[in-house]
Amino acid sequence: MKIYMNNNLVDASEATVSVFDHGLLYGDGIFEGIRLYDSCVFKLDEHLERLEYSAKAIMLEMPWSRQQIADAVCETCRANDLKDGYIRLVVTRGVGSLGLSIKNCDQPQLIIIADKIQLYPQEFYDNGLKIITVPTRRSNPAALPPAVKSLNYLNNILAKIEAQHLGYHEAIMLNDQGYIAECTGDNVFIVHKGELITPAASSGALKGITRDTALAIAEELGIPWREANMTRYDVWVAEEVFLTGTAAEIVPIVEIDARVIGDGKPGPITAKFLESFHRRVSVEGTML
Ligand code: PMP
């Protein structure tokens, strides 16, 4: 496997980072997860825009243009002979001294990994997924804006551990006011009385690219949508619930905290979203 590091494609065995990289020492960096469908990179420009916003928010000056990064992404996919896969783009603060100050970090590091994707089992889409709410909260936006896709994922990892210990694959995380923020790696949507509702970014949700696609699908289907504060009660009594994410795409949820959602089967509106999503991935990408 070839990995893109700074300006070169290197063998995976040689793709190593310094122990003085602040990405490793402090989680000081940002990332994106992107999908490749049939030799087309899905929503590449949107991912690179979010990467730029993340960089701006943490005051990390990227010395590469959007086009240069886009070219590097495509080059990495081609070098690995990939047609379908998952692309992980990481930008670290770079090598510095043993201190929090970014003053000695002169050279941010760009890493691109393009690999086959580990998909959720088909059964999750056919029968729906059961999830729970966990105690670990999403970061308070005043501490670390969740809209920044940073290398600090420890609270999401703790939430995932809590879910997995109880035999679940995904977990709903609340914000520090007790409203639903999102799942550990996916956004949450409910369908209630004909409306599509999802937490706002200000509730602690990442502005997911798949979330945006779901909102565009709602427009296409003529389903009214809005952002709102949502409690656990709201998801328990929804007719349908689904999650969105780059890797997961659109996953129906059939049980939350032991409450059956709707009739316990993936709902008809969720099915329409999935169908439209699959149609879009083949036409809305950047060709390699
Ligand atoms: N929330 C979190 C915390 C995430 O890490 C992700 C990305 N896996 C998402 C939501 C979904 O965002 P996207 O649709 O851009 O993948």
Low-confidence ranges of the chain (pLDDT < 50): none
> Is the CB–ligand 1 distance for residue 187 below 6 Å?
yes
Q: Tell which residue, 233, 234, 220, 148, has the closest CA to residue 191.
A: 234
> Is the CB–ligand 1 distance for residue 244 below 6 Å?
yes
- pLDDT per position as a tens digit, 155-193: 999 999 999 999 999 999 999 999 999 999 999 999 999
Residue carrying the six token digits 């700074």: 6
Give per-residue burial for 9-36: e unless 16+ CB within 10 Å, then b: beeeeebeeeeebbbbbbebbbbbbbbb
pLDDT at 224: 98
Nearest atom, ligand 1, residue 187 CA: 10
Domains in the chain, CATH or no CATH each: 2-115 (3.30.470.10), 122-281 (3.20.10.10)
How far is 231 from 236, CA to CA, in rounded Å? 9
Distance 97 CA to ligand 1 centre (A): 31
Instruction: Please list the helix, strand and coil fractions of the chain in percent, rounded to the nearest 5, in that order.
Output: 30, 30, 40
The mean pLDDT of the chain is 97
How far is 62 from 42, CA to CA, in rounded Å? 22
Catalytic residues: 149
pLDDT at 6: 84
> Is the CB–ligand 1 distance for residue 269 below 6 Å?
no
> Is the CB–ligand 1 distance for residue 162 below 6 Å?
no
pLDDT at 23: 98
How far is 139 from 130, CA to CA, in rounded Å? 24
Q: How does DSSP classify residue 193?
A: T
- Mutational pocket test of ligand 1: of 206, 211, 212, the residue with most ligand atoms within 8 Å of the beta carbon: 206
